[in-house]
Amino acid sequence: METPFAFGANAVAVVGLRGDSVRVYLNDPDEGVVYDVTTNLVDIGVGDWWGYYFSDYIFQTVAYLSNLPPYSEATLGVEVFASEQLAAAGRLLFGPEKDVGISAGEVGVRIEDYSRRERDVFGNLNLAPRRTIQVLDYTFMVEPEVVASVRRIFENLAATAALYAADPDSPETVVFGVFNRWDTLTDTRTICECSATVEEF
């Protein structure tokens, strides 16, 4: 899949991935391919032969890449490769990366289940499986003089889906979602501790 790349964008994310690897590249009409990165989506790290043969492989569903070069006429391309399953990608996102602070090192990750559990008059339990979503709680440090500008970033994202990442190298801290809360926890002369809660879209 290829699409025109927005000038000024420096980050790309592919979410809802299914496959073994994903390739992201930029193709400029004058200079050719100016960016080309392939990301492995399969974690096969095991400690012994039993784990090699019997443990389930962990498949990443998000690929996040930053520091893409600025080219006004480039085309963004994405290829998903799979050997034993159907290759798929849910969403392609690209735009300017916004650095809002330094991660405090911990991200709260929880799951909200929207399935229904109801008992009838005889006590029998009826289950209606529905979607689960991830909810992430980010905590980060911000210098006092930029707290107002960081707050405006979140205000501008109100009711807008975006990609949030504490550490792009840790897929469990990356989510495409909508923030529903932003707080400044402490305000001192040296550092401010802020937090944001993001619900998966």
For 9-149, strand residue ranges (E) read 11-15, 21-28, 32-40, 42-43, 58-59, 62-66, 75-81, 91-95, 102-113, 116-119, 125-128, 132-142
Kindly report the pTM of this predicted structure.
0.79
In the chain, % of residues over pLDDT 90: 31
* pLDDT tens by residue, 141-173: 888 888 889 889 999 988 899 999 888 778 788
* pLDDT tens by residue, 63-99: 999 888 988 888 999 999 988 778 888 889 988 888 8
In the sheet with 75-81, reading across from the earlier edge strand, the strands are 2-4, 75-81, 21-28, 32-40
Q: Is the pLDDT of residue 27 over 70?
A: yes
What's the chain's average pLDDT?
86
Instruction: Compute the distance between CA of residue 77 and CA of residue 23 in angstroms, rounded to an integer.
Output: 8
| Confidence band for 191, pLDDT divided at 50, 70 and 90 | confident
Query: For position 54, what pLDDT does the model report?
Result: 65
Instruction: Compute the distance between CA of residue 138 and CA of residue 173 in angstroms, rounded to an integer.
Output: 9
User: Between these two residues, 128 and 2, which has the higher pLDDT value?
Assistant: 128
Query: For position 172, what pLDDT does the model report?
Result: 83
